[in-house]
With several copies, the nearest count.
Chain A
Amino acid sequence: MIFEIRSRDGLARSGILREGETSLRLPAVVDASSFFSTSLDRPFTNVPLGAPQGLAEQYLVAGEHPTTVHPQKPVPVPDGDIAMVANWHTALQNPRQYVDWLISLKTDVRADTAWYAPAAALPSTVWMLIATGFDLFDTTAVDLKSAQGIFCLPEGEFPADLLDQGVCACQGCRDHDLKVHNRLALEAEVNRVGVFLQKGQLRELAEARCRLNAAQVSVLRHLDNHYDFVEQWTPVARTATFKANSGDSMNRPEVKRYMDRLLTRYIPPSAEVAVLLPCSARKPYSRSQSHRKFINTVAGRAHEIIITSPLGVVPREIELCYPAAHYDVPVTGYWDREEVAVLADVLAKYLAKHQYRRVIAHLEGGAMQVAAMAADICGITLECTVRDHPTSGGSLSALDAALAGERRVRSDQIKGMLSFQFDADVDTAGMQVRGKFPRLSVMRNRRPLFSLDTTTGMLRPTFEGWSLIPRGYRVVIDDFVPQGDILAPGVLSADPVIREGDEVLVEGPHALATGRAAMGAFEMARSNHGVAVRRRKVMKR
Chain B
Amino acid sequence: MISKSDEKPLACWRGKDRLGPEILDSLTIIFKTGGCSWNKCRMCSYRHERFGDGTPESLAALVRDQVNWVLAHHPLETYQMVKIFTSGSFFDPDEVPPAMVDEVAATFRGKVVVAETRAEYVDGDRISRFVAAIDDGTYTIPLYIAIGLETTSDQISDKSINKGSTFARFREASETARKAGAGIKAYLLMKPLFLTEQEAIDDMVRSIEEVSPYADLISMNPCTVQSRTEVEQYWKQGAYRPPYLWSVLKVLNAVDRDVLCDPVGGGRSRGPHNCGACDHDIITAINEYALTGDRELIRAAAATDCACKEEWEFVCSHEQSHCMPLTR
Contacts and interface: CB of A to CB of B under 8 A. Distances in A.
- Do chains A and B stick together as partners? yes
Interface of A: 40-51, 59, 68, 84, 86-87, 89-90, 93-94, 97, 118-119, 140-141, 143-144, 147-149
Given A44-B194, A48-B194, A119-B323, A140 B233 contact: no
Given A84-B322, A86-B323, A50 B311 contact: no
B322 A45 contact: yes
Interface of B: 155-156, 159, 194-196, 199, 233-234, 237-240, 307-308, 310-311, 313-315, 318, 320-327
A411 to B, nearest CB: 30
B307 to A, nearest CB: 6
Nearest to A117: B323
A94 B322 contact: no
B195 A44 contact: yes
A87 B234 contact: no
A68 B155 contact: no
Given A147-B314, A148-B311, A49 B237 contact: yes
Contacts of B315: 144
A266 to B, nearest CB: 35
A94 B238 contact: yes
B28 to A, nearest CB: 28
Residue with the highest number of chain A CB atoms closer than 10 Å, among B196, B233, B324: B324
Contact of B310 (A40, A89, A119, A148): A148
Given A86-B322, A87-B324, A140-B323, A46 B195 contact: yes
A50 B322 contact: no
B321 A46 contact: yes
A44 B239 CA distance: 14
A143 B314 contact: yes
A48 B239 contact: yes
A90 B327 contact: no
Contacts of A49: 237, 239
Contacts of A144: 311, 314-315, 318, 326-327
B319 to A, nearest CB: 8
A336 B245 CA distance: 46
A50 B234 contact: yes
A447 B109 CA distance: 58
A491 B325 CA distance: 43
Contact of B239 (A40, A87, A148): A87
A147 B311 contact: yes
Contacts of B310: 147-149
Residue with the highest number of chain A CB atoms closer than 10 Å, among B155, B156, B314, B321: B321
B327 A44 contact: no
Given A49-B237, A147-B311, A140 B318 contact: yes
Closest 5 CB pairs of A and B: A48-B239, A147-B314, A86-B322, A90-B238, A118-B323
Nearest to B314: A147
Given A144-B315, A149-B307, A50 B239 contact: yes
A43 B321 contact: yes
A89 B324 CA distance: 8
B201 to A, nearest CB: 13
Given A46-B196, A140-B326, A41 B320 contact: yes
Contacts of B196: 43, 46
29 contacts: A42-B320, A42-B321, A43-B199, A44-B155, A44-B195, A44-B199, A44-B321, A45-B321, A45-B322, A46-B194, A46-B196, A46-B321, A50-B234, A50-B237, A50-B239, A68-B322, A87-B239, A87-B322, A87-B323, A89-B323, A90-B237, A90-B239, A90-B325, A140-B326, A144-B311, A144-B314, A144-B315, A147-B311, A147-B314
Contact of B313 (A41, A46, A97, A147): A147
Contacts of A143: 314, 318
B234 A48 contact: yes
Given A50-B233, A86-B323, 5 more contacts: A41-B320, A44-B194, A44-B199, A143-B318, A144-B318
